Amino acid sequence: MLFILLVNVTVLVKKNNIIFGPVLSRRFGKSLGIDLSPSKKQCNFDCLYCELKPAKTVDSYSDILSIEDIITALKAALIKHQDIDVITLTANGEPTLYPYLNELIDEIDKIKGDIKTLILSNGATIDKTEVQKALLKLDTVKLSLDCANMQCLKKLDRPSKNIDIENIKRGMLAFKEIYNGALIIEILFVKDINDDIQNILGLNEYLLRLQPSRIDIGSIDRPPAYDVKGLQYEELLMLSKKFDKSLPIYIVSRKNIPKSPQSYSDNEILATLNNRPLTGDDMEILFDDETMIRVKKLLSSAKLKKIEKEGIVFYTLT
Ligand code: SF4
The structural domains of the chain, with segments of one domain joined by +, span: 10-257, 258-318
pLDDT at site 257: 72
Q: Ligand 1 site: residues with CB under 6 angstroms?
A: 43, 45-47, 50, 52, 93-94, 122
Residue 225 CA: nearest ligand 1 atom is: 8
**Angle at the Cα of 171 (from 135 to 215), degrees rounded to 5?**
75
What average pLDDT does this structure show over 74-101? 96
As a whole number of angstroms, the distance between CA 167 and CA 223 comes to: 30
Start-to-end C-alpha separation, the chain: 72
The rounded percent of the chain whose pLDDT value lies above 90 is 77
pLDDT at site 258: 67
Q: CB neighbours of 103 closer than 8 A, spacing ≥ 6?
A: 67
Half-sphere exposure of 287 (CA within 13 A, CB side): 24
Across all residues in the chain, what is the average pLDDT?
91
pLDDT at site 5: 42
Q: Which helix (H) or strand (E) holds 269?
A: helix 266-275
Fold match flag (10-257 vs 258-318):
no
Residue among 35, 47, 144, 163 to mutate when testing ligand 1 (max atoms within 8 A of CB): 47
Nearest residue by C-alpha to atom 7 in ligand 1: 50
Distances (CA, A) of 265 to 125, 221, 273, 289, 316: 48, 33, 12, 12, 16
pLDDT at site 221: 82
Residue 144 CA: nearest ligand 1 atom is: 1
Closest CA to 135 of 166, 170, 181: 181
Nearest residue by C-alpha to atom 2 in ligand 1: 93
pLDDT band at 282 (very low <50, low <70, confident <90, very high): confident
pLDDT tens, position by position, 303-312:
999 988 888 8
pLDDT band at 243 (very low <50, low <70, confident <90, very high): very high
Top-level class of domain 10-257? alpha beta
pLDDT tens, position by position, 29-78:
899 999 999 999 999 999 999 999 999 999 999 999 999 999 999 999 99
Q: Please list the residues that pair with 121 across neighbouring strands.
A: 143
Topology adopted by domain 258-318: Arc Repressor Mutant, subunit A (1.10.10)
pTM metric for this prediction: 0.89
What average pLDDT does this structure show over 164-179? 98
Long-range Cβ contact pairs of 68-74 (< 8 A, separation 24 or more): 69/14, 69/15, 69/18, 70/18, 70/34, 70/36, 70/104, 70/107, 71/104, 71/107, 71/108, 71/111, 73/15, 73/18, 73/19, 73/34, 74/18, 74/19, 74/32, 74/34, 74/108, 74/111
pLDDT at site 24: 84
